[in-house]
Amino acid sequence: MIICRLYQTIASSHVDDGTRLPTWTQRHLNNCPRCREFYQSALAITKELSTRTEGDRRSPSPFLHAKVMSAIRSEANAAFEPRPSRRRSAGVLVLGTACLLLLAGILWVRHPAITGQHPSTSTPAPADVAFNVQLPSAAQVNQWTTALDKPLEKETQLVLNDAKSALNSLKNSFLPEAEEGLPDRPN
């Protein structure tokens, strides 16, 4: 029965906690033999387990407290990290769209359509518009390329020097010294 399950769960949790049962649960146990038997078996199991483990108790590791506290702190820090929510992302998207529409409206108002032009206003033909752009010469491109490559060349040289130093250090640490009658170490 569902009500008996509820009372058994309550009785079980109180037995596990070692606390006293509420009076309304005790009344039910007095009237229901099935729940009373469940409660008595739970008490017997708890008593048996506690008597068996009395001799087996060991002191915890000295590092256990530090590990537990570290785990608690990391969980607490993770709980306070800001997480972007869908609602926030949607708000940013709506705000961005509104800004773009506002910008388009301002541009449209400032530059009216060309359809109602007066004959006195003339616009140059697309072929008449000239762009005054000078492309860089080959010497300038070469100079720029050389200037842009210098930091990379310098960094590459530093890495190679570090690698040579590391190899020499390893060679000096692990290869035996040259003794009389033995050939010298390779360089």
Please tell me the total count of domains within the chain. Answer: 2
Angle between helices 33-53 and 23-31 (to 10 degrees): 110
Over the chain, what is the mean pLDDT?
Answer: 79
Give me the pLDDT at residue 33, please. Answer: 92
| 9-43 tens-digit pLDDT | 989 888 888 889 999 889 999 999 999 999 999 99
In a domain, 104, yes or no: no
Q: Low-confidence residues of the chain, pLDDT below 70?
A: 53-57, 78-87, 112-131, 178-187
In a domain, 101, yes or no: no
In a domain, 187, yes or no: no
Give me the pLDDT at residue 38, please. Answer: 92
Give me the pLDDT at residue 127, please. Answer: 59
In a domain, 153, yes or no: yes
DSSP per-residue string spanning 90-153: HHHHHHHHHHHHHHHHHHHHHS--STT--TT-----GGG------PPPHHHHHHHHHHHHHHHH
* pTM tops 0.85, yes or no: no
In a domain, 91, yes or no: no
Give me the pLDDT at residue 114, please. Answer: 56
